Amino acid sequence: MLKKDRAFFIFTELNKIYPEVPIPLNHENKFELLIAVLLSAQCTDERVNKVTPNLFSKANNPEEMMKLPTEKIFSIIRSCGLAPQKSKNISKLSRIIVEKHNKKVPESFIELEKLPGVGHKTASVVMSQGFGHPAFPVDTHIHRLAQRWGLSKGKNVIQTEKDLKKIFPKKSWNKLHLQIIFYGRSHCTAKGCDGTKCDICRTCYPNRKKPFKANKP
C-alpha cells in the first residue's frame, strides 16, 4: 500500500471511529486552556482535569492568577509533573499577558511561544483548540503512530509534524490530530500494539510480522 493510500485509509477509518472529537482538557476560556495544556506536559489529561477545577476556582484569568502566590499555585498543582517550574511559569506568563497583551491570550504562534513554559506544541494546541487556526500539535502518541503507519520517519516531533502537514489537507488538521491521539490511547497503544495488532496497523502492513520499533521523540 502506497503512502497516499495508507493516508486515505487512515483518514477515512478515523472519521468512522471518531466522527466527533471532544477536547480532552476541560476549560471555560482560552486562558484556562493555555494553563491546562501547560500542565499536561509530563502529566496525563485525567490528572490535569482533576487539578484545574481547584486552581481555576481561585483564578481563571491572568489578572487573578498573577496575584496568586506561586507557593499557592504549586500547592494546588503539585501532583502534576514538573510542578515547581510550572507554578513559576504560570505566574510569570499571567503577568506578561496582563502587562503586554491587554489581559488576553495572544492569538499568535510567535507571541505564545515567547511565554514562559510554552513551547511549540502547547502553542499549537491553543491556536487549534482555542482559536480555531489550522495546527497539528504532535505528542508522543501521534509521533509513534505516524511511524508505525509509515507516514513519517521523523526522529523528533518537529519533523513528524512537517511530514503529517504535507500528507493531510489543512482543513482536517484540528480534528485529525485529536482523532490520532484518541486512537493511540485506546487501540494502538505503546504496549498494547507493536505495529502488528490494531486494525489500522494490520491493514496498512498486512505482511509485517516483527514488532515495529519507532524512533523515540
Contact call for residues 180 and 141 (beta carbons, < 8 A) = yes
Q: Which three cell numbers stand for residue 175?
A: 480534528
Cell numbers 507571541: residue: 111
Residue 215 has pLDDT above 90, yes or no: no
What digits encode the pLDDT tens for the residues 71-125?
A: 999 999 999 999 999 999 999 999 999 999 999 999 999 999 999 999 999 999 9
Where are the domain boundaries for CATH 1.10.340.30 in the chain?
30-130
* Confidence tier at 216 by pLDDT (50, 70, 90): confident
Domain 3-20+137-204 has CATH 1.10.1670.10: yes
Q: Is the dihedral of CA 143, 30, 168, 18 positive or negative?
A: positive
pLDDT at 131 over 90: yes
Q: Give residue 133's region: left, alpha or beta (phi > 0; psi -120 to 50).
A: beta
Grid cell locating 92: 510569570
CATH 1.10.1670.10 intervals, the chain: 3-20+137-204
Residue 144 · residue 214 · CB < 8 Å:
yes
Q: In CATH, which of 2.60.120.10, 1.10.1200.10, 1.10.340.30, 1.10.540.10 is domain 30-130?
A: 1.10.340.30
Q: Structure pTM? A: 0.92
Distances (CA, A) of 100 to 36, 95, 105, 106, 114: 21, 8, 10, 9, 11
By annotation, the residues acting in catalysis are 121, 139
- Is pLDDT above 80 for 217? no
